[in-house]
Amino acid sequence: MIKIIMGKKGTGKTKLLIDMVNNAVTEESGDVVCLEGGRKLTHDISYAVRLVDVWDYELESGYEVLFGFICGIYAQNFDVSHIFIDSLYKVAKCDDITKAEAFIEKIERFSSQNNIRFTIMISDDTERASDNLRRYF
């Protein structure tokens, strides 16, 4: 299952993400992971969540690299039930919405095959989203 939360900067996405992550860790039976670029969520997210600053790993930019990173997280821990991504463009170091949509389609297949939920934040105007992307809103 994929859920996309999209909106321009300053529309409250991060606050919503924090609430969703903290609720997930208490309501879900599996492990919860939150990927971010930078360390801005450290004091807001429950200690029970695996908070990962992807910038610590010096990943190359792009969605294929991010997908591989996510696969590595799951390969290391099959108990992961939910992965949150704060600010997809920032984490992937790529703000190409077409490439982001292709990534999300790939994540959807991965999600179905491995029974992992994904919640992804995108800082962009919802008017730019295709109908295909809107189905995840």
Residue 98, Cβ density class (10 Å: 0-12 exposed, 13-18 middle, ≥19 buried): exposed
State pLDDT tens for residues 45-65: 999 999 999 999 999 999 999
Q: What is the per-residue pLDDT for 29?
A: 94
pTM: 0.96
Q: Are 117 and 82 in contact (CB under 8 A)?
A: yes
Domains of the chain: 2-7+24-125 (3.40.50.300)
Q: Are 132 and 101 in contact (CB under 8 A)?
A: yes
Q: What is the per-residue pLDDT for 35?
A: 98
Q: What is the per-residue pLDDT for 41?
A: 96
